[in-house]
Amino acid sequence: MEQTLLIRVTGIDQPGITAGILRILAEARAEVLDMEQVVVRDRLNLGLLIAVAEEQAPLKDLLFFGWERNLHFDFEVVDPPEDLPAPSRFAVTVIGARLGPEALGGVADAIADGGGNIERIVRLSNYPVISYELIVMGGHTDTMRKGLLEASSLHQVDIALQREGLARRAKRLVVIDMDSTLIRDEAIDLLADEVGNGAEVRSITEATMSGRHDFESALRDRVSRLAGMDVARLNAVASRIRYTPGARTFARTLRRLGYRTALVSGGFDVFAEEVRRHLGIDIAHANSLEVADGRLTGRLVGDVLDGPAKARLLEEIAAAEGIPLEQTVAVGDGSNDLEMLAKAGLGIAFNAKPVVDAAADTTLKVPYLDAILFVLGIRRQDIEAADRTDG
């Protein structure tokens, strides 16, 4: 008679444990139905689900192997696995400057309240932020999302909920905003500082990015206040651009992984091209300032690159690269990024205005752009290993 056994193995990890156990199971003509292994601080946790003839169950051989290796074996007879459709799987990414038991417990409660079961937990990073990925089986998406949003607000951590599957693992294009995303500044505000209009332009910029002004009319209004500025002063402004912490790591890692990257900005091409070149981004699109006799006229050249235009560019770039929209990621912070975030397979609001946070698939409030890599399931130790290899 065949029985199904769940075998749990714990102890200090060492080479040859898994190979030795599988060798014993092979000699007993057992069938491996499932197997998972996790090592935490050199402590092994190995689980195997096997089917084996009752008279051939290799319990003594496994116990002797465990005695030789100072391992603990636990055996349990369980029901054979049912041939049922696999439940939905989700990836929950938790990111914070500190992740204590209160925050992690709040996440676990939200998952349980939504009917999900945590299958696996993996730490993705321990600096500059701490992050974990939880793989969840089953559950009601809307209920879990609501609970996770509450946990995020209560414990001041970022939480992303995504369906786990090929679409998540196959992202190939990242389209990102520039001002207040790739860089910490709004270029139009820096330009206004040069001509003494900084305070009033900043006020318009804030209202526009929060969705209180029409983007095109507000941009043309702000650009008109730059009329007469010597174009030579653009270089002085470009030298004051401050890159968002983690921007270089973010761009470098995506490049290593073979992602295509595009900068799509409602700002200006003179700065977008400099940022593209500095970070090694593949494509850059932005608005153009009109120049006459070496000075800014206070007008723009061509159509304004606004919110709808950003969404169209995402579609066009994806089509030109042969990449389905579900394999795209969009990142932005302002109301003019809303259409782009909605169009992408994954829309990420990065330190965004409330109106953008409310609409995006995922929100990040930590000040490090490379935290987006953790949402994509990339581990910090793999990033560092690649950096060391490349020198």
pLDDT of residue 187: 92
Judge contact between 248 and 279, C-beta under 8 A. yes
Q: Where are the beta strands (DSSP E) in the chain?
A: 2-12, 31-40, 43-53, 72-78, 89-96, 117-125, 130-137, 158-163, 173-176, 260-268, 283-292, 295-301, 328-332, 346-350, 362-364
Classify strands 43-53 and 31-40 as parallel, antiparallel or unpaired.
antiparallel
Residue 84's pLDDT band (cuts 50, 70, 90): low
193 vs 278: CA distance, rounded Å: 24
268-271: list long-range contacts, CB under 8 Å, 24+ apart: 268/187, 268/188, 270/234, 270/238, 271/178, 271/183, 271/187, 271/237, 271/238, 271/241
Catalytic site includes residue 193 = no
User: Active site includes 79?
Assistant: no
In degrees and rounded to multiples of 5, residue 262 shows phi and psi of: -140, 135
Query: What ranges do the domains of the chain cover?
Result: 2-78, 89-170, 174-360
> What confidence score (pLDDT) does residue 329 get?
97
Q: 332 and 361 in contact (C-beta within 8 Å)?
A: no
Question: What pTM value is reported for the model?
Answer: 0.87
Q: Could you tell me which CATH number the domain at 89-170 has?
A: 3.30.70.260
Average pLDDT over residues 104-118: 96
Of the pLDDT bands very low, low, confident and very high (cuts 50, 70, 90), residue 240 is confident
| Spatial distance between the Cα atoms of 327 and 329, rounded to a whole number of angstroms | 7
Read off the pLDDT of each residue in 195-215 and give the average, rounded to a whole number: 91
CB 114 within 8 A of CB 136: no
| Same fold: 2-78 with 89-170 | yes
Taking Cα atoms as reference points, which of 121, 135, 145 lies closest to residue 165?
A: 135
Q: Give dist(CA 77, CA 4) in Å, integer.
A: 6
Point out the catalytic residue in the list 61, 79, 109, 177: 177
Confidence of residue 25 (pLDDT cuts 50, 70, 90): very high
Structure tokens at 340: 């782009």
CA–CA gap between residue 363 and residue 159 (Å, rounded): 8
Alpha-carbon torsion, ordered 191, 193, 196, 199, to 10 deg: 110
| 243-293 pLDDT tens trace | 999 999 999 999 999 999 999 999 999 999 999 999 999 999 999 999 999
The pLDDT of residue 223 is 95
Residue 249, C-beta contacts closer than 8 angstroms, at least 6 positions apart = 369, 370, 373, 383
State the pLDDT at residue 391.
62
Task: For 357-376, write each residue's pLDDT tens digit.
Answer: 999 989 999 999 999 999 99
Q: What is the DSSP letter of 212?
A: S
Whether 90 shows a pLDDT value over 90: the answer reads yes
At 167, the pLDDT band (50, 70, 90 cuts) reads: confident
The pLDDT tens digits for 335-364 are 999 999 999 999 999 999 999 999 998 999
The average pLDDT across 296-305 equals: 95
Based on its alpha-carbon atoms, the radius of gyration of the chain, rounded to whole angstroms, reads 26
Provide mean pLDDT across the span 178-206.
Answer: 92
Q: What is the pLDDT of residue 144?
A: 95
b/e code 212-223 from CB counts within 10 Å (16+ = b): ebebbebbebbb
Amino acid type, 107: V
CATH superfamily for 2-78 is: ACT domain (3.30.70.260)
Q: Which CATH class is domain 174-360?
A: alpha beta
Cα(329)–Cα(176) distance, integer angstroms? 8
- Average pLDDT along the chain: 94
pLDDT for res 165? 85
Count of beta carbons in the 10 Å neighbourhood of residue 303: 10
Catalytic residue among 13, 179, 185, 370: 179
The DSSP bridge partners found for residue 296 are 291
pLDDT score of 36 more than 90: yes
Burial degree of 273 (CB within 10 A; 0-12, 13-18, 19+):
middle
Place of tokens 């799509």: 264
Other C-beta atoms lying within 10 Å of the C-beta of residue 282: 17
The pLDDT score that the predictor gives to residue 166 is 83
Q: What are phi and psi of 314, to 5 degrees?
A: -55, -45
